[in-house]
Structure formats: C-alpha cells, structure tokens
A and B are shown apart, each in its own frame.
Chain A
Amino acid sequence: MTHIVEAMHVSKVFHHTASGHPETALQDVSLTVEQGKITALIGPDSAGKTTFIRMLCGLMFPSEGQLNVLGEDITKKAEEVQDRLGYMPQKFGLYEDLTCMENMNLYADLHGIPEEKRTERFNKLFIMTGLAPFTGRLAGKLSGGMKQKLGLACTLVRSPDLLLLDEPTVGVDPMSRRELWEIIKSLVKEEHISVLVSTAYMEEAELCDDVYILNKGRILAHGTPEEIRNRSQGLSYWMPVPQGIPARVVQSALLDEEEHIEDAVPERGGVRFVIKRGETLADIQALSLYPSCKAVAIPCRLEDSFMMILREAQKRERLMEGFELDYTAKRHISSHVDIHVHNLLRTFGDFVAVDHTSFDVHKGEIFGLLGPNGAGKSTTFKMLCGLLPASGGELSVAGVNLRTARAQARANIGYVAQKFSLYGTLTVKENLRFFGGAYGMSKKKIFERMRVVLRMFNLEGREEDIAGQLPGGYKQRLAMAAGLLHEPKILFLDEPTSGIDPLARRTFWRQITALAAKGTTIIITTHFMDEAEYCDRMMIQDQGKTIALGTPDEVRKRGGDNLTMNEAFIAIVEDNRKKEAEENG
C-alpha cells in the first residue's frame, strides 16, 4: 500500500452556518499522500485546509466522494484509523493545568505505550523539542512556540502511521519553526511515517516532497516543490533600488503594475519581482522610473509560482483608493522623535520581560520589532500603548506617557491587536461607528471617514455584515479600518500579518507603505522575518534584551554575508544566546 491517503472527488458542504446559507468548503478534491513522504497543503485563508484535515481524522465526514485513510474508508472505520493517526490541530488542545510531563503521560496512556518504552521515547522527544528543562512546568506557562512543540511531542508519543499537522507554525518564531521542521524531517527518516501538513509558509512547503495548492476548496496545482517552482522559471528578477528611495516604494511601483508583474517583494535591500509569462523586462514601465537600477535574473522559488497560480485563479483586487503613492519620493525621515524609549524595564516577579530597552522612532518611520516568542515584544508594545505600566525607565509616545497622560492623548494613536479584537457580534458599520464615537469624532466626521476607510480597505458592500463572520483577511482589513478611522499620527500593529496568506500580506504592506509616505509613524511586530525588509529600521529582542537595532541592511549584515533576513535573524539570535551562555559559564 503506497497511498496512505486517497481522496477521490471529495466535497464538503456545511449546511448549518452562521449566515444560514449552505457553504461549500471543499469541492471535488482528489489527493494522495504517499508512504514515507511529506505532503504539503498550501493555500490562502479559508481555502479548506482545516476542513480537509479534519475529514482525514474522521472528525467530519465528506458530503460527497470517497476518502480512504490508511487503506480504510474513514466514514466506516473512523476509530480504527484514529488509533493509527497522529493529529495536531492548529491550536493543540494542551491541558494547561498539567505539566509537560503529565500531558505527555496522558497521551502515552491513551495510546497504550508501556512504561518501559516511555523513558526512551520521551527523552528523545524532549531533547528534540528542547523541552527537556521544562518537563515539570505547567503547559499554560509555556511560550507559544514551546506549546506547539509540546503539542507535537504529544502527538508523537508513539510513532503514528500518518501524521497530520494543521498549520503547525502559525504564530511561531523562525527558530522554533526551524526546530519543528527538523523534528518532522528526522521522524520521517527514522520512522518512515507519512506526513500531511498544511502551511502558509512557502519555505516550509519547499521542504516537502509533494505539494498541493488549495484555493477556495479546489485544488489548483499539484506536484513536487520543484515542479511547481519551475512553473515560474525565468521570470524572477532582483533589482537594487536608487539611493534614498525605500525598497518598499520601488516594490509598490512594481506591484501596482499588475498587467506585467505577478509579484514583488523587498529583499536584500532591493526588490525581488516576478514578471508575467510572455513579458520582458522592457515591457515594464515601472523600471523606467529607476533608470539607474538594473534588474538581474535570479533563480525562481516556490513562492513565485504560488503567487502566479493564485493570481490566475483569483482576480486581483483593484488597488483601493487612498493609497496612491509617489514612486520616486525619497525617504524622508524627520528629526522629530515620535516614540522615545529609554532604559525601559518590565518585570513580572523575578522574571524580566523587558530588560532596559532603549530606542527612538522618528515621525514617518516604519519601525519593526522582531524577536522569538516570549522575547518581550508584546510586553514592550503594551507599555507603549499604555496598557501596562512600566517597572522602570522612560517612555513617551507623541511626547507623553500614555498610561499617565490625559485620555485625549490617546487620540494620537491607532492600535491593531494581535488577534482580531473588534466586536464580533456587531456589524462592520456598527464597529466603525463605535470607534469613531470613542475617539470623539463628530457624526459628520464619522460618516465621512467611514466612507473613506470602507473604500480604502475595499469593505464596501460588507457594511452590514457581522464582523465576527467575515473571512480572516476581511477581519484584518476591518481592524485596520477601525485603527485608521481617526487618522492617528502613530499606528501600532501587533503581528497584523500572522495567519494571513501571502496575497493579503502584499496588499497589507502596500497600504502601510502608502500610509508611511503620508507621514504616519508605524511601529509593527511580525513573525515573518522577510517583512522586516519593509521597515526603515528594526530591532531584534531576545529574552527581553535588545540584541540588534538598525536598518534592515545593517541588521542583515550583522548576521553574515548575503543572507536573507530569516537566516540573518536566526544567526543573530543564536550567536547572542551562545555568547550569553558563555558569559554565564
């Protein structure tokens, strides 16, 4: 038996939905997972990835089609199949009141692993996941990345025949992500298990043997990463940017020229772009804006093809109004300091969450705050927004400490939280109107601005939709719309792109670029290291301490020569940890 999973024309329709209309989650999906291979399922939000994986576990049944897992019809022999599966849901249900060891033991007991086999297996898993020092810690007290690793360890208490992973790395920092993949890889090698993983990270998909691209419940493409990657062969280029113009502006110029360009991202201080098949560099008008910069061909990668395939299937949204950009405007950073942080300290008991951090953010700058899970980014953020008192040090935002300043001072800032945090039971319009009122705007002003932001974020026609029932990407847009309604001078964005797909991320950054050009100061945290390339300056925190601060170029060079931001980040953090360890003996 080589087909571990065999899906034939599988469809899934949900009849009892919040909106009352039946929704088709999957349509005519045919897919196979082969013995001993890692198969990736990639696709944008609400493509149907989670639904499909849940069906493989027998937690849902297909509406149509045949679904065989481990040689059995899953609708008939769900329990037998479950015995042989390992399944890690997007948010693994750890028992937070139990320690790591107790969680592991629970799953070992459920799977009937004899005591004598446990010690060895657990040791191996704990060492693999780096959880060995924390076996006695309550699961609820672990950081996000550690929780994911513990979740994986729990699913691996015994070697399953098929391992199903549903976006195991969402919200997980690059270090933990790399570690997770090393574990998966070595398992496949040593224990010959088969893996099906859904992911939003293209570099993860490149590590797999077989890739399916899923969009709106349909399979768009299938092949090895190489086959898929080669679809965009010869289309990828990199160009430097003229002195003084931010890479994101040049990238925007290219991205906006959608008739010729498939995709563009800032990379290594320049711009990486993919042209449409059949086009040549000469066709691209945007390039003529920057005559001094010459584009060079570079090898293509999976993400290029992914974007290409998605763009074919999905009409690109018109660029929303209000984000027009001067493609040749020089970087202008005023000397005015909007955010000043000096020796900022925050402790929780003995634990130092933010350790004497200092930085300034200038007006009109995009400032990126990066770091592994638990590095203190969110704590820093909360202190800046006045949500948490600082234990020591100075901080001022627009000249005041928001925690102690008059409430009106908060009108200067906009805040978009990590997870969707608008009122889920209110409609889009009701949410916006409420926040307008909360910011003390007049009725007329609210009405005007509401029209503007609805148009900006392409939410027109969705005014009466219940916010909680919007698809993921739209929720994020609504959050942005609400954050920008009162035209704040400073915008705080806490992992705004976590869990959203590459297409939506391009749009998001295109909007941020335009906002910054208009003089809005932006401070942002992210787990996608390549997104640091959009920033003017960035800071890397680890264990509460600042370990790098500077322009993306400077930071990248600190990590080594010719690295991507992701690689540089890992190098810097590991280097620093090594140094710390040496100092501490």
Chain B
Amino acid sequence: MDDFLRRLTALIKKEYKQIVRDQSSFIIGVVIPIMMILLVGYGMSLDVKDVPVAVVMQDPSPTVQDMFSFMDGSSYFNPRYVTTYHEGVSLMDDRKVDDRKVDALVVVPPDFTESLRKGGGHVQIILWGVDPTTAKTAQGYMEAGLAAWQQAHMREYMTSYGTRLGMISVSARQWYNDANTSTWFFVPGLIVLIMTMVGVFLTTMVMAREWERGTLESLFVTPVKPLEIVLSKWIPYFFVSMGGFALCMIAARYLFYVPIRGSVLIIILASMIYLLTTLGLGLTISSLLKDQFIACQIALLVSLLPTVMLSGFIFDLKSTPEFINAVGHIMPATYYMELLKTLFLVGNNWGMIVKNCTILIVYGLFFFGLSVVVTKKRLE
C-alpha cells in the first residue's frame, strides 16, 4: 500500500508538471471552457426578441394604428410601417438582392376599416420561412396580440353579435424559468458539454501521447501497476476538469444569474461521478488506439457531437423518433444533463437524483474499470 501511494504520488507529480509546462492542457482545460462559457452565455440565445416586422398599412386609419399598438410596446417586435404591399414585400424578399430588412409582414388591406365595420376584418401575416423558429414564434405573438385587440373591441363593433359568449384567452407560465431566458437552460447544458469535452479529449490526448512517444514502454518495466498509471492520469485531469466546472458554476451564478435551486453539493457530487465516465472513456480510447491523431478524432466524434445533439442540450429528446430517443438514453450525458437542469432550475427532486446518480455511477465504474483493463503492460 505504501508502495502504491508512493508510485502514484510520483506519477501524479510528473503529470502535474507536464500540465503546467505544456500549454495544450491549459488551453483545453481552461481557455476553451472560458471561451465556451462566454460565447454560449452571451452569444447563444433562442429567445425571440425585437423581431423586425413591417406592417403594411394600406389603410392607415386610427383604428388600424390602435390595432397594432401592441407591437410598439412589445419587446418581441421591432415594427416599421409602410403603406404599399409592394414596398412591404421588397423589404422581405432577398432572392434577388441581399437587403432583407424584416422577418415578417403584416398586411392590412385598403378596405380594412370598412370591412371591420361590416363585421369581418381580415389581416394577413407573411413570414420569412428560412428561419422557421423565429417565424413560428413571431406568428404566435402576433396572433395573440391581435386576438387581444379583438376581444377588447368586439362589443364595440359587433352589435349584432350572435352569441353572447366571451372568448378564451391563453396565458403562459413557465415554471423554473422566471426570466424566460434560454440562457438559463443553456448554462447547465454547457456544463455537461464542457465536462464531457474536457474529460474525454484531454485524457485521450495525453494518454495517446504517452503511447506514441514511447514513454509508457519505459514505465512498464518498472514496478508500476496499470491501475496506478490509470489513476495517475485520472486524478490530475479530474482536478483540471473540476477547475473548468468551478469556472462554469461561478459564471452561471455571478455572470448569468442562473438560479441554483437544488443542492450545490449534489451538483458537485454528480459532476464528480460523471467525470469517472468521461475520463475513463478518454483513457480507454487512447489505450486502444495508441495513435494520437486517430484517437483525438474518435474522441471528438464520440464526445462533442452526441453531447450537443443527443443529450437534450438544445433539442428535446421527447420530440424525436423512438429510435433516436433510445440512442440518446444510452448515453450517460443524457442523464447528467437531465439531472443538472433539474438541480439548477427546479430543485432537489430526490427520485430523479437517486435514479440518475445510480445510472451515472454504473457508467462511471464501467468506464473506469474498462480503462484499467485495457491499459495492459504489454506491447501487442
């Protein structure tokens, strides 16, 4: 046991010096996480805000102006007003020249006020479909705005109203995300992304480097045990990754004001468990392939893309085909993602904590064990 600790300390000391002296580990372990936090936190937003809209007022009556007053006060829209249909279309059509100014048109026909008085006004919304997400959201808000106006003015215009029924209005409440900002759901996901990438990529790189440079061949013929080699990679990069994690937590709390409603301790614990998986996966890949270039490519392929696409980082697995959903649920990142989002935004949901942590522990032990098994003191 003494021997074990002594050798392990020696190897860890060596690893530490390498981390300090080789800027690659620093860049991947620190620079990239910081860059991602800032870019994702500030740069990525799915919140539809200030959508440029042109209102084609072919009938510029006060009624129409009143009807669209909801836009002026709204943070969703940035309206401009034109008078002809042609002018409106030219603001949005960019098939011939690149000067699109708006994402949506609202067309008010010339006889609108007249028709309204007769009990049947008609408005057309035209949306720019290249960005369907914005289109759909903008459409929803516009329709809601117009419906509210209709509700308020119905009586006024429709004296001969058939039924005396009122109208249904739909109001939305988003739980867990009072600020209604996508940053809140991006940031916990970002932590998953960084932990996966740093964990897998960093260990793959440094372990493959040892194979390639022949340093392991020299180490093998010392009393070192495979477990010690694996642990000596695992422990320092565990701390490097936890450093990236700490940066994320600080940024989440103090830069982006994301609430942490669950237990911070459990977040930290779950992250530590998750690192068991990612570091183990990286060590396994590099020990199996022993070639830095191929190993790094594989590491990128198995870590970055699936985490972004399949873990529920941006896209909800619930809306994908069953098969893809199942694939997503093979990945440990999916469980970690679900857990983090819940712990950040919802609170301590013990059922989920126990279930997901158990799954993560199983994965972690599996990959850690695998990395020990494949690191054989053999050269064939």
Q: Are A87 and B218 in contact (CB under 8 A)?
A: yes
- Interface 9-residue window, one of A56-64, A129-137, A257-265, A383-391: A56-64
Across the interface, which residues of B come within 8 angstroms of A59, CB to CB? 217, 220-221, 377-380
- Contact string against A for B residues 1-30, beta-carbon threshold 8 Å, 1 for contact and 0 otherwise: 001001101110110011001100000000
User: Considering the complex, which residues of chain B in the window 194-239 have a beta carbon less than 8 Å from any beta carbon of chain A?
Assistant: 210, 213-225
Q: Which listed residue (B11, B210, B218, B222) contacts A89, Cβ 8 A?
A: B218
Q: Are A92 and B21 in contact (CB under 8 A)?
A: no
- Count residues of A near B (Cβ-Cβ below 8 Å): 36
> Does A77 sit at the interface, judged by CB under 8 A?
no
Across the interface, which residues of B come within 8 angstroms of A154, CB to CB? 218
Residue of B nearest to A138 (CB): B21
A107 CA to B223 CA in the complex, in Å?
Answer: 10
A82 CA to B217 CA in the complex, in Å?
Answer: 12
Across the interface, which residues of B come within 8 angstroms of A85, CB to CB? 221
Q: Are B223 and A93 in contact (CB under 8 A)?
A: no
A138 CA to B21 CA in the complex, in Å?
Answer: 10
Across the interface, which residues of A come within 8 angstroms of B217, CB to CB? 59, 89, 93
> Does A460 sit at the interface, judged by CB under 8 A?
no
Across the interface, which residues of B come within 8 angstroms of A279, CB to CB? none
Q: Are B18 and A112 in contact (CB under 8 A)?
A: no
> Does A570 sit at the interface, judged by CB under 8 A?
no
The smallest beta-carbon distance between A182 and chain B, in angstroms, is 23
A569 CA to B357 CA in the complex, in Å?
Answer: 70
Question: Known: A93-B214, A93-B217. Is A111-B223 also a contact (CB below 8 A)?
Answer: yes
The smallest beta-carbon distance between A242 and chain B, in angstroms, is 50
Q: Are B218 and A110 in contact (CB under 8 A)?
A: no
> Does A109 sit at the interface, judged by CB under 8 A?
yes
The smallest beta-carbon distance between B367 and chain A, in angstroms, is 25
Q: Which listed residue (A83, A94, A98) contacts B18, Cβ 8 A?
A: A98
Q: Are B221 and A105 in contact (CB under 8 A)?
A: no
A89 CA to B224 CA in the complex, in Å?
Answer: 17
Q: Which has the most chain B C-beta neighbours within 10 Å: A82, A85, A93, A102? A: A93
Q: Are A98 and B223 in contact (CB under 8 A)?
A: no
The smallest beta-carbon distance between B165 and chain A, in angstroms, is 78
Q: Are B219 and A110 in contact (CB under 8 A)?
A: yes
Across the interface, which residues of B come within 8 angstroms of A106, CB to CB? 10-11, 13-14
Residue of B nearest to A99 (CB): B17
A401 CA to B132 CA in the complex, in Å?
Answer: 62
User: Considering the complex, which residues of chain B in the window 313-351 have a beta carbon less than 8 Å from any beta carbon of chain A?
Assistant: none
Residue of B nearest to A54 (CB): B379
A106 CA to B215 CA in the complex, in Å?
Answer: 12
User: Considering the complex, which residues of chain A in the window 69-97 have a beta carbon less than 8 Å from any beta carbon of chain B?
Assistant: 78-79, 82-83, 85-89, 91-97
Residue of B nearest to A12 (CB): B380
Q: Are B377 and A58 in contact (CB under 8 A)?
A: yes
The smallest beta-carbon distance between B18 and chain A, in angstroms, is 5
Residue of B nearest to A94 (CB): B215
The smallest beta-carbon distance between B375 and chain A, in angstroms, is 13
Question: Known: A59-B378, A60-B380, A106-B10. Is A93-B221 also a contact (CB below 8 A)?
Answer: no
Q: Are B18 and A95 in contact (CB under 8 A)?
A: yes
Q: Are A82 and B220 in contact (CB under 8 A)?
A: yes
Q: Are A78 and B377 in contact (CB under 8 A)?
A: yes
Residue of B nearest to A58 (CB): B377
Q: Are A97 and B7 in contact (CB under 8 A)?
A: no
Q: Which listed residue (B21, B216, B222, B379) contacts A111, Cβ 8 A?
A: B222
Q: Are B218 and A79 in contact (CB under 8 A)?
A: no
A95 CA to B213 CA in the complex, in Å?
Answer: 9
Q: Which listed residue (B9, B22, B218, B223) contacts A83, Cβ 8 A?
A: B223
Q: Are A109 and B10 in contact (CB under 8 A)?
A: yes
The smallest beta-carbon distance between A114 and chain B, in angstroms, is 10
The smallest beta-carbon distance between B266 and chain A, in angstroms, is 37
Across the interface, which residues of B come within 8 angstroms of A88, CB to CB? 218
Q: Are B219 and A93 in contact (CB under 8 A)?
A: yes
The smallest beta-carbon distance between B231 and chain A, in angstroms, is 14
A89 CA to B377 CA in the complex, in Å?
Answer: 15
Q: Are A102 and B378 in contact (CB under 8 A)?
A: no
Q: Which listed residue (B6, B213, B221) contacts A112, Cβ 8 A?
A: B6
Q: Are A87 and B221 in contact (CB under 8 A)?
A: yes
Residue of A nearest to B376 (CB): A59
Residue of B nearest to A78 (CB): B377
Across the interface, which residues of B come within 8 angstroms of A138, CB to CB? 21
Q: Which listed residue (B6, B18, B214, B225) contacts A79, Cβ 8 A?
A: B225
Residue of A nearest to B226 (CB): A79
Across the interface, which residues of A come within 8 angstroms of B218, CB to CB? 87-89, 92-94, 151, 154-155
A212 CA to B187 CA in the complex, in Å?
Answer: 66
Across the interface, which residues of A come within 8 angstroms of B224, CB to CB? 110
Across the interface, which residues of B come within 8 angstroms of A112, CB to CB? 3, 6-7, 223
Across the interface, which residues of B come within 8 angstroms of A60, CB to CB? 378-380
Q: Which listed residue (A79, A83, A86, A98) contacts B14, Cβ 8 A?
A: A98
The smallest beta-carbon distance between A581 and chain B, in angstroms, is 33
A110 CA to B216 CA in the complex, in Å?
Answer: 13
The smallest beta-carbon distance between B250 and chain A, in angstroms, is 29
Residue of A nearest to B228 (CB): A110
Across the interface, which residues of A come within 8 angstroms of B9, CB to CB? 109
Across the interface, which residues of A come within 8 angstroms of B11, CB to CB? 106, 110
A282 CA to B378 CA in the complex, in Å?
Answer: 56
Q: Are B380 and A57 in contact (CB under 8 A)?
A: no
- Contact string against A for B residues 361-380, beta-carbon threshold 8 Å, 1 for contact and 0 otherwise: 00000000000000001111
Question: Known: A58-B377, A59-B378, A93-B215. Is A98-B7 also a contact (CB below 8 A)?
Answer: no
Across the interface, which residues of B come within 8 angstroms of A14, CB to CB? 380
The smallest beta-carbon distance between A95 and chain B, in angstroms, is 6
Residue of A nearest to B211 (CB): A93
The smallest beta-carbon distance between A554 and chain B, in angstroms, is 42
User: Considering the complex, which residues of chain B in the window 80-99 have a beta carbon less than 8 Å from any beta carbon of chain A?
Assistant: none
Q: Which listed residue (B21, B222, B378, B380) contacts A110, Cβ 8 A?
A: B222
Across the interface, which residues of A come within 8 angstroms of B377, CB to CB? 58-59, 78-79, 82
The smallest beta-carbon distance between A341 and chain B, in angstroms, is 36
Across the interface, which residues of A come within 8 angstroms of B3, CB to CB? 112
Across the interface, which residues of B come within 8 angstroms of A92, CB to CB? 214, 218
Q: Which listed residue (B6, B17, B213) contacts A102, Cβ 8 A?
A: B17
A78 CA to B377 CA in the complex, in Å?
Answer: 9
Residue of B nearest to A85 (CB): B221
User: Considering the complex, which residues of chain A in the window 122-157 have a beta carbon less than 8 Å from any beta carbon of chain B?
Assistant: 138, 151, 154-155
Q: Are B220 and A97 in contact (CB under 8 A)?
A: no
User: Considering the complex, which residues of chain A in the window 30-68 have a beta carbon less than 8 Å from any beta carbon of chain B?
Assistant: 54, 57-61
Across the interface, which residues of A come within 8 angstroms of B10, CB to CB? 105-106, 109-110
Q: Are A110 and B220 in contact (CB under 8 A)?
A: no
Across the interface, which residues of A come within 8 angstroms of B379, CB to CB? 54, 59-60
Known: A14-B380, A87-B221, A107-B222. 13 other contacts (CB 8 A): A59-B378, A59-B380, A60-B379, A82-B377, A86-B221, A93-B214, A93-B215, A93-B218, A94-B218, A97-B21, A106-B13, A109-B13, A110-B7
Pairs across A and B, CB under 8 Å, 26 listed:
A54-B379, A57-B220, A58-B221, A58-B377, A58-B378, A59-B221, A59-B378, A61-B380, A85-B221, A87-B221, A92-B214, A92-B218, A93-B216, A93-B217, A94-B215, A95-B18, A96-B213, A97-B18, A98-B14, A102-B17, A109-B6, A109-B7, A110-B224, A111-B222, A111-B223, A138-B21
Q: CB within 8 Å of B: which residues of A?
A: 14, 54, 57-61, 78-79, 82-83, 85-89, 91-98, 102, 105-107, 109-112, 138, 151, 154-155
Q: Lowest 9 CB-CB distances: which A-B pairs, in order?
A: A109-B10, A93-B215, A87-B221, A93-B214, A93-B218, A110-B222, A97-B21, A59-B379, A83-B223
